[in-house]
Amino acid sequence: VIKEKHRNNYNLFESSISENFKTMLTMERELRKALKEGQFEVHYQPQKSLHSKEIVGFEALLRWSHPVKGYIPPDDFIPLAEKTGLIIDIGDWVLKEACRQNKAWQDKGYQPIIVSVNLSAKQFHQKNLVEKVEQILESTGLEPCYLELEITESMAMTNEESILKTMNRLRKFGVLVSIDDFGTGYSSLKYLSIFPITKLKIDKMFMDENQKQNQAIVKSIIHMSHSLNMKVIAEGVETIEQLTFLENEKCDEMQGFYYSKPLPPEQLTELFQTV
């Protein structure tokens, strides 16, 4: 009986591995199809200045509108897109679409603001990334100062030299560079003084007021950013209490559900200022 049981467990284990594998293959095929058939969308979440109280930017967030499963959040498919390399083509599309949309808004007479696009490590390490960005800006007509690229803290830690070179070239061209999810990676602070970073994005985990130390951490990040001539934005702001704290601490900007969740482009325009 015992032997029997073990064998069944083993089979169960084995079949769940191959199930996972099949699911992955299906998803990879579906991702390729999604790109070809235009199932991806970019939604935008406004970023508000705590000084002027105006919208100063918005983050481009990828959405997969699956024909059967509905909206699939990026955390559910970006890891696989990264593993398979598909993130390069998908990322190119996001970058192009976000720049095109931002320029289209400017052409309609809205106050020019910054669009912020997430790049995964694979994208940032492309040899021709800077050329690609330049080409997209040229073809869409968007000025470089209205594009920000977000990279995560953990990525900044790897391959320091090549990252620095790419960042410097992007900054020279006029594109802004921010560090996303700041505070969640391996916290060596060395690169903050080396890399030409324009903004730190404090990770939303630090907005949790139940963790008493969080307020001290947020304060320190704000002060450090300003000392190093960087702007600082808080992510995941959901309550008036969080907002008030950030205003008191002179945080520059906020992004979060308290103000607006990410929205499809057609729902955003009522928030804009006309020039």
Q: Is 41 in the site for ligand C2E (CB under 6 A)?
A: no
Q: Which is nearer to Mg ion, 32 or 93 (CB)?
A: 93
CA gap 137, 155 in Å, rounded? 24
Strand partners, 147: 115
- Which of 30, 97, 153, 180: binder of ligand C2E (CB under 6 A)? 180
The number of beta carbons lying within 10 Å of the beta carbon of residue 183 is 19
Q: Is 262 in the site for ligand C2E (CB under 6 A)?
A: yes
Count, residues in the chain: 275
Element (H, E) at 214: helix 213-227
Cα–Cα separations (whole angstroms), residue 159 to 15, 20, 41, 178, 191:
38, 32, 31, 17, 12
Instruction: Provide the 3-class DSSP secondary structure of residue 98.
Output: helix
CA gap 269, 272 in Å, rounded? 5
Which among 113-121, 160-168, 169-177, 222-230 is the span making contact with ligand C2E, rule CB under 6 A? 113-121
- Which two three-digit tokens encode residue 190? 């060395």
Q: Is 181 in the site for ligand C2E (CB under 6 A)?
A: yes
DSSP 274: B
CA gap 150, 178 in Å, rounded? 5
State which of positions 172-191 bind Mg ion (CB under 5 A).
180-181
- Which two three-digit tokens encode residue 3? 């032997």
At residue 146, what is the residue type? Answer: Y
**DSSP letter string, 131-169:** HHHHHHHHHHT--GGGEEEEEEHHHHTSSHHHHHHHHHH
- Which of 118, 140, 166, 198: binder of ligand C2E (CB under 6 A)? 118
Q: Which is nearer to ligand C2E, 10 or 71 (CB)?
A: 71
At residue 255, what is the residue type? Answer: Q
Q: Which is nearer to ligand C2E, 2 or 225 (CB)?
A: 225
Which among 1-9, 25-33, 49-57, 231-239 is the span making contact with ligand C2E, rule CB under 6 A? 231-239
How many residues interact with ligand C2E (rule CB under 6 A)?
A: 22
Q: Which is nearer to ligand C2E, 105 or 182 (CB)?
A: 182
Q: Is 78 in the site for ligand C2E (CB under 6 A)?
A: yes
Q: 63 CB contacts (<8 Å, ≥6 apart)?
A: 40, 41, 42, 43, 71, 72, 73, 74
Q: Which is nearer to Mg ion, 45 or 166 (CB)?
A: 45
x-or-dash string of contact with ligand C2E, 236-255, rule CB under 6 A: xxx-----------------
Which of Mg ion, ligand C2E, none has residue 257 at its interface (CB below 5 to 8 Å by kind)? ligand C2E
**Nearest distance, CB of residue 252 and ligand C2E, angstroms:** 17
State which of positions 187-216 bind ligand C2E (CB under 6 A).
204
**Nearest distance, CB of residue 262 and ligand C2E, angstroms:** 5
Residues lying near Mg ion in the complex (CB under 5 A) are found at 118, 150, 180-181, 235
Contact residues toward ligand C2E (CB under 6 A) are: 45, 61-62, 73-75, 78, 91, 94, 118-120, 180-181, 204, 235-238, 256-257, 262
